[in-house]
Structure 1
Amino acid sequence: MADTVVESAIANFLASPKTAYHSIEQLQKAAAALHKSNLCVFCVLRFLSFELGSIYQQQAGVAAKLEIPNARNSPCVACLGILNYDLADHVVSKYHEERFDAANVVIGIELPKSIAIRHRSMQLFCSSNDEIPTRLSDVVDIKDAMKYMISQRLFKECGIYAIGDSQMRIDLVVGHSESASEHQFLTGQQDKSDNINRKRRNANANSGDSRIAIINELAACSDEKFLANFASPPPAVLQGVQLETVSFKRASLFIGGRYLKLERNISQTPFIIGGRRVAELSVAEIIGEPVKVLTRCDSYNLVGSGREDADVRMLGDGRPFYLECINPRFTHLEQWQIHDIEHQLALNSSPVQTRRLQLIQPEDTKIIKEGEENKTKHYCALVWFAKQLSAEKLEEINQIGQKELVLQQKTPIRVLHRRAPLVRPKKILSLKVVHIQERFYKASIESEAGTYIKEFVHGDLGRTTPSLAEMAGETADILELDVESVSLDFPPP
């Protein structure tokens, strides 16, 4: 079977109008010259310009048909042993270990910088050797060869396809310390006439060790200058490549909903100052941890439509939010699985509950950001005044509260350490104050997003004006605060 594959591939290659080879003998002579220059069987195929296909999986059969040895005592001088070092084994093993449920992937490969130098060296060798009539533009790129070999194994053993566009990515970084300095001779190789063009390049491209800089310098380097500094064919190496990293990255998964915070002293996200937790619990962790178990993601980020302070409850229909699951292994979720998280939070009487928890699309997350400008919030506050207000004063405040009230709010003292010292105009859309007993009052407040309600009540040492304290003519403080509603239509139906 293997012999048939090889013979068929060679026959088709020789019959192709694009090929520079017209007989098996001519092909064998070129293969011998390439192999003699210390190329592996795979690189022989590449420089003969065999298109990627099943022949690249028949190393022994190819070697026999082309009459070249199947194995080398030292690494290939063109690929540095990359194509013989079974990277696919490592990728497949790692994929099974991670247990992603992807149907397809994109493969990204970072090669040693010396590969480009050695490729140029082999091009010059081929162009100067009459036994190798390969058109250099037809030589198969080493990255393409690697991706092909890895993709074949991934499909065979994992059932996934390697394609050009996928939400799942596999990145490999391959290094070779022995040849790591081979590109350094290129520095300063360009003629002075090229300096103007060089200045126009991206700053990063000009750093001598960047890959783009090496490619640019290599393109500008004449054959004569190149051959004066580097051998052709490339020099032998003692050691092959090292696989430095294999990483899997998948596009984030987004789950949206609304959360209720039924107890105080719970922050929205982990609240840590100086390495110490200020609030023991966070909304993000209470919701995020069971989602992390379900999706097997690396981490998660909770993004809310605004945030309440740790000592403020979130009641009513809850606050809109989404959870970004970073690098999830499992994304084929059913709605019942997500609903079960909501059900378990309720069953366990968690201080944080969710409503309408569901999968959302990445573009749906824009609603949270865009809603910052338009949403309004309703609050209920327990307020204390230094003196009990007269009925007339209470009526006066409520009359004012029936109309829109524009505040001038300087950045509150309590957040000056993390926010710019600005004056922000904010609107109180409605205000109603009801006497409870003695000096205690209930204030119902509707405001636009971004209004600091605590500061509106006590005035923040005159930094918010007008304030409820200013309207009452008495010192005021807020004892408890609840958010009762956030008027943003989210998650989408």
Structure 2
Amino acid sequence: MEKIKIESAKLPLCDHCLGRLYAMLGHGLSNDERGKAIRTIYAMENNLNLSSIYPENCELCNNIFSRLDDYAKHIANMLKDIEYETFMIGSRFSQETMEREKELQDEFGNLGEPINREFNRELGKKVMEITGKEATIKDPDVTIIVDTEYDDFEIEIKPLLIYGRYRKLVRGIPQTKWPSGKYKESVEEIIAKPIMEVTKGEGHALHGMGREDIDALMLGNGRPFIIEIKMPKRRKINLDEIAKKINLSGKVEVLDLRFASKKEIVQIKSSEPKKRYRVGIKVDASAEELKSALDSLIGKISQRTPTRVKHRRADKVRIKEVYEVKLIGKDNEAWVVEVLAQSGTYIKELMHGDNGRTSPSLAEKLGKKLEVLWLDVIEILDR
């Protein structure tokens, strides 16, 4: 008992706030049990009626711990239309409360814990009893923040993350929603639409492993992506059914859908796999001329930010590597060229040179102007 200052029993505090001053002492006890024990000993030593040393109102928490049942019922009601398995309680207390508690902790030996930690823990127990769900601090499905000063409640729902690969089957649609509204739809919106319908989410974002040009197709094994559904009310959804609905669009196909984790977004955004392309070009040259010129493109190339994107990207020179280039043949008026290159290589510019901003280029090697008619991404070598 040397560490406990028994006169602290006279403080105008509830049992929770009194016991919390000594939260580090005694195992298997709650703070209110510590507080009751300290007051009981003090009453016995001073031959006092125990009830006479209880304050009518706790000067620190304003009796907030007596209202935990009401808080828990309110939270359970707020969560009744949300699908979740785990939750976490967070809280905000006024600066005045936190400063007063710090003063008390300093005065009585700094053996306690913060008021918000106890509040979160005890309220979490109450919510668990009502909902049957698990309270956790590790990646909860739902977080409830209680502003105790204003009795205000905020709900944060963990985003639903779905990994997959997409093929873009039509030209003229961007990967993500266009801020200006210039394009009526995007790969992101086509994928998100059926998911939003079943999850009742409030927003979405697509995280892709790079992106293709708006006028390019994404074929082959597809581009890895994660679609993020914000504030989803439903989490248990049938991904096979979702894929079928997306694929009915005729514009975008998805495959390999599965649920994903937040760390996978970082992995996807930071990955730089080699990519294989097919590009259709129009140029007055023979097959032999093209093959010879294409062979000379293998190796390091210098690319200054293309004219077509320099208004939105830093104007700088990048060194990229071309691993393979070959002539596939002719398709109507287009010569078809296949290129395997480093991630981030501008393939159109590798062909036409962009007035010398990319060097070497096919146009430079041929000594002729050429026109890029179309571009397809046919493989992403990420695995």
Shared fold per TM-score greater than 0.5: yes
Give 1:340's aligned residue. Answer: 241
- 2:100 corresponds to which residue? 118
Distance 2:22 2:379 in 1: 70
Residues 260 and 91 of structure 1: is their aligned pair in 2 closer, same or farther, counting only changes over 3 Å?
Answer: same
TM-score under structure 2 normalisation? 0.79
**Other structure's SS at 1:157 match:** helix
Q: Which residue of 1 aligns with 2:294?
A: 401
Compared CA separation, residues 427 and 136, structure 1 to 2 (3 A): closer
- Bigger shift: residues 77-86 or 41-50: 41-50
Tell me the equivalent position of 1:410: 304
Alignment of 1:291-440 (within 5 A): 291-332=195-236, 337-346=238-247, 348-365=248-265, 367-369=267-269, 371-372=271-272, 375-385=273-283, 388-389=284-285, 391=286, 394-402=287-295, 404-428=298-322, 429-432=324-327, 434-437=329-332, 440=334
Mapped partners of 1:302, 1:30: distance in 2: 57
Give yes or no for the alignment of 1:243 onto 2:151: yes
Distance 1:115 1:321 in 2: 46
CA-to-partner distance for each residue in 1:294-345, whole Å, 9 max, x for gaps? 4444433222222111111112222222223445454455xxx111111222
Q: Within 1, Cα distance between the matches of 2:249 and 2:364?
A: 41
Q: Match for residue 76 of structure 1?
A: 58
Superposed CA deviations along residues 146-192 of structure 1, whole A, max 9, x for unmatched, are: 224312321111112334434345353536xxxxxxxxxxxxxxxxx
Q: Which runs of 5+ in 1 are unaligned?
A: 1-15, 22-28, 128-134, 176-240
Pairing 1:98-177 to 2, within 5 Å after superposition = 99-103=82-86, 105-119=87-101, 137=110, 141-168=114-141, 170-174=143-147
Mapping of residues 249-260 of structure 1, within 5 Å: 249-250=157-158, 252-260=159-167
Q: Letter of the aligned partner of 2:281 in structure 1?
A: V
Shift of 1:260: 0.8
| Identical-residue share of aligned pairs (%) | 28
Q: Quick one: distance in 1 between partners of 2:105 and 2:266?
A: 51
Q: Of the two, which has the highest radius of gyration? A: 1
Cα-to-partner distance string for 1:48-74 (whole Å, 9 max, x where unaligned):
979427869x9xxx9xx94259995xx
Displacement of 1:285 in angstroms is: 1.3
- Which amino acid in 1 is paired with 2:258? Q
| CA contact 2:84–2:141 (8 Å) conserved in 1 | no
CA distance in 2, matches of 1:378, 1:327: 37
The alpha-carbon distance between structure 1 residues 47 and 244, as it changes in their structure 2 partners (threshold 3 A), is same
Partner of 1:484: 378
Q: Cα distance 1:48–1:20, how it changes in 2: closer, same or farther (>3 A)?
A: same
Partner of 1:67, secondary structure, is helix
| Residue 360 of structure 1: how far off its partner (Å) | 3.5
Q: 1:411/1:45 Cα in 2 relative to 1: closer, same or farther (>3 Å)?
A: closer
SS at match of 2:151: strand
User: In structure 1, what residue type is equivalent to 2:364?
Assistant: E
Give the equivalent residue in structure 2 for 1:93.
77
| Counterpart Cα distance in 1 of 2:8 and 2:269 | 63
- Uncovered stretches (5+) of structure 2, i.e. residues with no partner: 41-48
Number of residue-to-residue matches in the alignment:
363
Shift of 1:264: 1.0
TM-score (normalised: structure 1): 0.63
CA distance in 1, matches of 2:5, 2:299: 83
Q: In structure 2, what residue type is equivalent to 1:94?
A: M
CA distance in 2, matches of 1:30, 1:360: 51
> Which portions of structure 1, spanning 4 or more consecutive aligned residues, are displaced by more than 6 angstroms?
16-21, 47-50, 53-56
Q: Deviations over 1:131-160 (max 9, x none)?
A: xxxx66566743244224312321111112
- 2:44 aligns to what? none
Whole-Å Cα distance in 2 between the matches of residues 122 and 445 of structure 1? 71
